[in-house]
A and B are shown apart, each in its own frame.
Chain A
Amino acid sequence: MGKNKDIEQLINLMCKSLRHKIGAIVNESEIYAEKYAKDAETIMKEAEKVLHKQNLNNYDKKIIKEKLKVKLKKELEEKDFLGDKKFDIMDEEIEKAIQKFNLF
């Protein structure tokens, strides 16, 4: 798979993983948070595999961060069953994922 496709796949997986993670956090007072936070971890592990396929330069990293933010915001808007606090923690969670993957 080419670099651009890998980048798209990486963004897609990171976005989905973060959506699950944010969902689990904002529903912390609900009963399912702990159990289903594992879904986020599962997807993030897949994202990590894609990450290691390519050598990403600073421009790639900038694109990933920008696109991830737009995509995640859109997906969170669609999931109206997730608590309203989801947008408050979105940037923080993106930043954590970016740091974890050395994409800063």
Chain B
Amino acid sequence: MENITFEKKVSKGSKFNQIYIPKEMAEIVEVGDLVQIKLLEKYTEIYYKNQKKLLEFKEYLVREMFSSLNRFKEIKNIFIVGSFLEEDIYNDIDVIITITERKTLNKYTEHLERKIRDFLVKKFNQKFHILIFNEEKLEKSIKIDPLIRVMFNNYVSNKEKKFDSKKIIDKKHIRFLLMMPEDLLEISVSSKIFYNNLKRLIAIEIFLKNMDLNIKIISSQIENELETNLLNKIKNNDEIDEKEILVLRKIIKKKIERIKKII
């Protein structure tokens, strides 16, 4: 008797959710028989926010990720953001996770981030970038942080989540964000850092001007400001010479000045 098994999906009933006995088994599993139900695989939905449908492969990968992350009981919501959603060739998969824990001490989140990243890398053999917040913190970030706002303009997630779109201008936070671009006026770092900080400055400016903020707008602004050759170099983290660094610093300086005038 133990060998009588079949797999079916749970379906929605009017009062209760239900599982139907397959027709061909009607005489084997009959009314009155005692059966046991075992959960084999958790069904995972994918929610899209301002995001065109993913390619079949990507959708499969996301569904598998969401499903396998069920083992981490601390996880509340999972959001996939960034280049994985848009580009055919992506470097890594940006995953933002909210957790039930209210206290997100650095050591705790760092440990959890590492645990989740190692698990995903081992299972899917891809590069992952994990960021963990508690929900309250994330909601606040979306209100005051232009970069996190850009990230959350479009995403896919494991659960439907509505964020308050209210914007709060926190001058201290903006000044904190300006610290890195200001340092780039003095120090030489790899060219990709210049690219990332140009994006940061454009995002801050758009945020402060109360305009629509998304990655496409930011990318097109950078394209307008930089000559293609230099843009490609800093995008790909290629080496740049002193003259090119000067060009970038000039743009960064102007942007910082404009932002400071607004705040």
Contacts and interface: CB of A to CB of B under 8 A. Distances in A.
A34 B176 contact: no
Contacts of B190: 46
A39 B109 contact: no
Contact of B187 (A16, A35, A81): A16
Interface string A27-43: 11011111111010011
Contacts, number: 60
B128 to A, nearest CB: 15
Contacts of B141: 31-32
Nearest to A42: B193
Question: For the side of the interface on A, what is the size category?
Answer: 20 to 34
A31 to B, nearest CB: 4
A104 B205 CA distance: 43
A39 B148 contact: no
Question: For the side of the interface on B, what is the size category?
Answer: 20 to 34
Given A27-B176, A42-B193, A33 B187 contact: no
B73 interface: no
B180 A39 contact: yes
Task: Name the residue among A31, A32, A34, A36 with the largest chain B CB count within 10 angstroms.
Answer: A31
**Interface SS, A side:** helix
B132 A34 contact: yes
Interface in B127-149: 131-133, 137-138, 140-141, 144-145, 147-148
B109 A81 contact: no
A31 B183 contact: no
Contacts of A16: 183, 186-187
Contacts of A86: none
Interface string B172-188: 11011101100100111
B179 A23 contact: yes
Contacts of A42: 189, 193
A25 B110 CA distance: 14
A31 B145 contact: yes
A79 interface: yes
B36 interface: no
A30 B187 CA distance: 27
Contact of B176 (A12, A13, A28, A36): A36
27 contacts: A12-B186, A12-B187, A13-B187, A16-B186, A19-B179, A20-B180, A23-B179, A25-B106, A28-B105, A28-B106, A30-B173, A31-B137, A31-B144, A32-B141, A32-B145, A32-B173, A33-B106, A34-B104, A35-B148, A42-B193, A43-B189, A46-B187, A46-B188, A79-B175, A79-B179, A81-B175, A81-B176
Interface of B: 104-106, 109, 131-133, 137-138, 140-141, 144-145, 147-148, 171-173, 175-177, 179-180, 183, 186-190, 193
Interface of A: 12-13, 16, 19-20, 23, 25, 27-28, 30-37, 39, 42-43, 46, 79, 81-82
A-B pairs with lowest CB-CB distance, top 4: A81-B172, A31-B141, A81-B175, A39-B180
